[in-house]
Structure 1
Amino acid sequence: MAIKILSMDDELDMEMLIQTRFRKQIRERRYEFIFAHNGIEALEVLEQHTDIDIVLSDINMPEMDGLTFLTRLNTINNPRVKAVMVSAHGDMDNIRKAMNLGAFDFITKPINFEDLDITIDKTVGHIEMLIQHQKERDQLVSIQNDLLIAREIQQAMLPKIFPPFPHRKDFDLHGFLEPAKSVGGDLFDFFMMDENHLFFIIGDVSDKGVPACMFMAITKAIFKTHFLHSSFENIAEEVRQVNAFLSEDNDSFMFVTAFVGVLDLTTGVVEYVDAGHEPPLILRKDGTVEVVKKKTGMALGIDPTYDYHTQVLTLQPGDTLFTYTDGVTDANNEAGDRFGMKKVEELVASIGPNNTPKEINTTVKATLKEFIGTHYQFDDITTLTLQYYGN
């Protein structure tokens, strides 16, 4: 596409001179010239031709001189249009004024057309750079908008109404996900399988950002398909089937650690499968904290034949099960200190058993935020807290 140049000069032979000197570039459609004889005509031309790239303007002209035109050009607010001013050799006062008014470059009379060609090429290069920067900026804005939508979709997929079962007096639970990027790979979910059994899961996908978010969504959906209204006999077998699905055609080699549990609300017994996840804590009614000692299985999505095993823990009325992702323990501050498992235990113990799951999670979130301070959060932070009251 030809570079469109508006040449403005009151000397009528300048038009013929430019067409003669640049006939090759014009014939090859490298340049396209439009001519005006003063600033007023030039402004009219700019209104008609919004795709003009360069204005080649004489400074001394009747009716409207080049400096006045340059002032008017600034009001058009089109950063793509670049002005190259032409003035008599030695007229540095007007050239200085023109540059102060925003002219991109200048040449002097009598015009050296080789110099003019070089100046036009330089100006074109600058314009192309601006166009490229604008494209990159538009692409960045588009990506940011897409990430914002993805974040909204991800957050919409997570439970967000708390308390989720206000009519139930035998338990309460609360969860939150704070992604490190616009979207994250952590997940949590829960739902009633029947009147007496609560399914819950917390997980952490191996990657970050959009790919992890997509894998998280698939994992969450598959678990819900397998356990919602399910009359399963073996939770480990259900997890094995989910794992086989996630492992199939997993060319990205992504995986997800998960703690998957089913709480019998009549007994407080939790049957669970650990798939390489962080050890939960039990905050007992008496204020003591226990780390759940468990057999750790393989993360989901790696080996489709892996044999998972069901394990059991028991919650007494008043006990709280605190589950989390490694974004909690691995949180770092500016000094490079890691929050660590010991601090998690101490924090949960200090909160105590008389707080609701929401209050516990709110305190954990605030404590981690204070610990991280001005340091960047490099991993998603997620907790799911379940409190069992019994009948």
Structure 2
Amino acid sequence: MHKKITMRLSQIFMRFSFLLLVALGVLLCSTAIYFYQRDMKETYYDYVSSIVSVSRAGLDGDDIRACIEKGEMSPKLNDALAQMNMYKENSRVSYIYLVYYPDEADPGDMRYVLYANTDADRADGVEDSVINSPCGEEYTENMWRGFYEAQFGGRDEIRFLENVTHINGSEVLMLTAIAPVYDREGNAVCVIGGDIFADIVIGHTRSYLLSVTFYAIIVLAVGFLGFFLLGRRFILKPLADITKSTGEFVDAVGRTEAPEDLTYGVVDVRDNTELRDLSRQLAHMMATTKDYMVNLKTVTAEKERIGAELSVAAQIQADMLPRTFPPFPDKESFDLYATMTPAKEIGGDFYDFFFADENHLVLVMADVSGEGVPAALFMMIARTLIKNRAQSEMSLSPSAILADVNGQLCESNEEDMFVTVWLGILDITTGKGMAVNAGHEHPAVRRAGGNFELVKYRHSPAVAVMEGMKFREHEFQLDPGDTLYIYTDGVPEATNAENELFGEERLLAALNREPDADPEKLLQNMREAIDAFVADTPPFDDTTMLAIRMNPVSL
């Protein structure tokens, strides 16, 4: 095993070293060539731009405009042409010329004003005067666009173009400098251009590339050999020994049933490097692992016990909430449905509904501060107190019920927990109800034939915040066809991966997806909308909902 690991790591290190040095060499060569070629091009651009600048200084824009209109050369323009012929004859510039666009609206019509020639050009039959003759395929699309922008762009500056053109069937790199020529009124009459072949740039670059590549290969070969030998001495060998010792310990962990008998062979790394620190830290980690495994059985057993107890607690909590639907089959005047989804095994939200007497239905939606076991215990106490007080023979007043429950919860609330409550008492014969909102979410109501809307009003404080609290009551009316939807903050505050809240707008949109649906379907639509919104994001709060719809009473 030790030999196989050493060989594999050596091969990886060798390939990595080779590729790293090759990449470094390519990067250095590319950088050197880039800057060399850039400097060469800048030199040629400076050269051709100086010829263009000197030639433009001897041009008269008004005279050129008159020549274009007449279609013939003037003495002044002939003198300028002679000057440009001299520049072309005695410089390395390949072409000097004047071109213009007769119509700004027609960028496809570019024509010559003049074309500078040498004695050799004239001997080959090239004409001196080409005024108003159309330009041909000798110019690339990039050059046509550059000339057009120079004449009509409104900027008095020398521009540079780089093009690959075809000369005698061969591709040639050409560097071009262009500038507009203006009349006395500041209008561009034409564009002067100068071209220079950049074949010398390519030739010099190739020679430079060969030289750089040759020396780079020598340096890379020496560097690779030294890098690999040093790496094998100071890295590969110690790592192989550490791998062997660690592998033996891992194999022993898989076989042993007595973690206290595990041993780890510490590798002695003589060089004062990070590998020596790694060897010592691994030895410490293996000792810690051994201690961890010794205690693992006890910890695992304790965790399983707690998990089992939480499962029982979750079942007890679920059994406390009414889960049989329809809950009152003999009551045809309304339909009711509710759900509670805890964020953890057990939660602090709860709902409840029960009859205080034959005609008065009590509806409860509450959210205890916090999560987990403390919230669940406080929830059970609060639910029991609310139900016992509401079913007593005392006044059926939501405010009186919560005031009494508030006093009892505050008596021994050392953890300063509280519960937000929406408590309503509905007369199912008339649809008239009284409710208290103690710091809870705004309910949503749909009137028959309409859409759901939030009913917003001033809330009372949450229950168990302070002794002696009074709670504000308000009346509400549910007629046949009306639906009431109450919920905890786990609905609007459901959060997706982008940390966005579900919010009230999405809440209403989900309700109004099928506003006339029965309560069970209504809550199902809401659950689907929340799940689609949060996707795989774990919930951080319980989600509890209740909906009740009043039905027409048959006579």
TM-score normalised by structure 1 residue count: 0.69
| Structure 2 residue aligned with 1:25 | none
State the Cα deviation string for residues 292-347 of structure 1 (Å, max 9, x = none).
Answer: 23330000011111111221110110111000000000001111111101111121
Deviation at 1:376, TM superposition (A): 1.2
CA–CA separation in structure 1 for the residues paired with 2:386 and 2:520: 24
Q: CA deviation at 1:122?
A: 11
Partner of 1:290: 453
Which residue of the other structure, out of 75, 78, 91, is the alignment partner of 2:257? 78
Selected match of 2:349 from 186, 190, 197: 186
1-side partners of 2:377 and 2:541: how far apart? Answer: 17
Partners of 2:330 and 2:376 lie apart in 1 by 32
Alignment match of 1:301 (pick from 464, 473, 476): 464
Output the CA distance in 2 between the equivalents of 1:75 and 1:246. 54
Whether the aligned pair in 2 keeps the contact of 1:151 and 1:183 (CA below 8 Å) is: yes
Instruction: Give 1:74 shift.
Output: 9.8
AA aligned to 1:344 is L
Verify the 8 A CA contact 1:205 1:254 in the aligned structure 2. Answer: yes
1:197, 1:264 within 8 Å by CA — same for their partners in 2?
Answer: yes
Give unmatched runs, 5+ long, in structure 1.
1-72, 85-103, 108-120
Aligned to 1:331: 494
The one of 498, 512, 521 aligned to 1:359: 521
Q: Cα–Cα, structure 1 residues 222 and 187, in superposed 2: closer, same or farther, change >3 Å?
A: same
AA matched with 2:359? N
Residue 226 (structure 1) aligned with residue 412 (structure 2): no
Q: What residue in structure 2 maps to residue 274 of structure 1?
A: 437
Deviations 1:226-262 (A, max 9, x none): 0125452532112100111111221101000010000
- Pair 252,131 (structure 1): closer, same or farther in 2 beyond 3 Å: same
Quote the Cα distance in structure 1 between the aligned partners of 2:423 and 2:342: 21
Q: Which amino acid aligns with 2:413?
A: N
Structure 1 runs of 4+ with >4 Å offset: 73-77, 104-107, 121-127
CA contact 2:253–2:262 (8 Å) conserved in 1: no
For residue 196 of structure 1, report the CA deviation from its aligned partner. Answer: 0.8
C-alpha contact (below 8 Å) 2:368/2:419 kept by paired residues:
yes
Instruction: Give the whole-Å Cα distance in 1 for the aligned partners of 2:453 and 2:353.
Output: 23
**1:211 correspondence with 2:377:** no
Q: Does 1:322 align with 2:501?
A: no
Asked if the contact 1:287/1:349 (under 8 Å) is kept, the reply is no
- How much does 1:138 deviate? 2.2
Give per-residue Cα distances to partners, 1:351-372, cap 9 Å, x unaligned.
212x211111111112111111
In 1: Cα distance, 2:355 partner to 2:464 partner: 26
Match of 1:385 in 2: 547
CA distance in 2, matches of 1:240, 1:374: 41
Please say if residues 331 and 377 of structure 1, whose CA atoms lie closer than 8 Å, have aligned partners that are also in contact.
yes
- Aligned-partner Cα distance in 1 for 2:334–2:413: 37
> Helix, strand or coil for the counterpart of 1:183?
coil
Which residues of structure 2 form unaligned runs of 5+?
1-251, 268-283
Identity score, percent: 31
Q: Indicate the SS of the match to 1:307.
A: coil
The answer to whether structure 1 residue 368 and structure 2 residue 530 are counterparts is yes
Distance in 2 separating the partners of 1:222 and 1:135: 40
1:130 aligns with 2:293: yes
After superposition, the C-alpha distances for 1:83-138 in whole angstroms (9 at most, x for unaligned) are 66xxxxxxxxxxxxxxxxxxx5599xxxxxxxxxxxxx999875433122322222
1:175 matches 2:338: yes
CA distance in 2, matches of 1:348, 1:123: 57
1:365 is aligned with what amino acid? R
Aligned 8 A contact 2:398 2:436 in 1 = yes
For the pair shown, the structure with the greater C-alpha radius of gyration is 2
Q: Is the 2:492–2:503 Cα contact (8 Å) retained in structure 1?
A: yes
**2:316 maps to which of 153, 157, 163:** 153
The alpha carbon displacement at 1:79 in A equals 4.2
1:35 match:
none
Number of matched pairs: 288
Q: 2:511, 2:525 within 8 Å by CA — same for their partners in 1? A: no
Distance 2:404 2:453 in 1: 31
Alpha-carbon distance, 1:270 to partner: 1.4
